[in-house]
A = this chain, B = another copy of it.
Amino acid sequence: MQAGFPFSRFADRLATQGALSSDSLDLLAKMPSSISHYGSRHHLMQRGELPTHCHLLLQGYLCWQDPDGRDGRIISIHVPGDVPDLYTVHDLQVDYDLVTVGPAVVASVPHRFFRELAELSPTLWRSLLRLILIDAATSRNWILNVSSRDALERVAHLICELATRLRAVGLARDLRVPSPFTQSELAAACSISAVHANRTIQELRRSSLLQWHSKTITITNWYGLVRLAGFNPAYLRLPAIDEVEAAEPPTARSTEAAVIADSLR
């Protein structure tokens, strides 16, 4: 998983679901793909299209967005190493638009490659299936986010999730989350209005939980944010990860927060 390997984030991601054999790494190294750079808000795929390739995100963010409705609700957000449309290998229908958030680098990989993988490496194929199922678990959690938390908690939860997923592929280790998101896009993801998103972010700043400058969200109080959001990363199906090196670690090990901290360990 050298830095030079273009699919290293993807390898990291897969490795969260089971160690990669050297055979598996060889297979990944031979993955046919064409790499493209896109600007912000580029639609990689539109509802109704018949896909023949998957999109492996190498850098930046992608999201699934509902093309209807003025405010273009965002259904899910994806980080480097993700293949947001991996499921299309087995279900050729696309219900939403796949859109870049900020500039992004994307590898296009033919469905055929993933289909052949089933025979070449059942283990790897199993890990891929698990990635699909994790996206499903994340969608279920997203339902809860937009339906049972208030605006402040929603935004906090989304940021916790992004930070955690980025850390799982070696990014945002210092809790500085790259954020090409406009406040309107954040609002579309949290299902609130842009104006309210603005006020919500101001409150998060006022509470000294985070800063948001020059396209970067800096989480200044991880445990506070986790507590506010009620964030429990179990649904992300990540193995134990490094302790968060954030300010203000929990003081009492017997609280709720400690349980969450343990789950992050």
Contact = CB atoms under 8 A, between A and B. Distances in A.
Interface stretch (A139-147, A174-182, A221-229): A139-147
A257 B90 CA distance: 30
| Assembly stoichiometry (copies) | 2
User: Which of A71, A76, A148 is packed against the most chain B CB atoms within 10 Å?
Assistant: A148
A244 interface: no
Given A66-B148, A133-B132, A140 B76 contact: yes
A237 interface: yes
B130 A90 contact: yes
Contacts of A66: 144, 148
A22 B150 CA distance: 52
B95 A126 contact: no
A129 interface: yes
A91 B148 contact: no
A140 B96 contact: yes
Nearest to A147: B191
Given A91-B137, A132-B133, 11 more contacts: A71-B148, A73-B147, A87-B133, A90-B126, A91-B130, A91-B237, A93-B137, A95-B137, A95-B140, A96-B140, A143-B143
Interface of A: 64, 66, 68-69, 71, 73, 75-76, 87, 90-91, 93, 95-96, 126, 129-130, 132-137, 139-144, 146-148, 191, 230, 234-235, 237
9 contacts: A73-B143, A75-B143, A87-B136, A91-B134, A93-B137, A95-B141, A139-B140, A143-B143, A147-B147
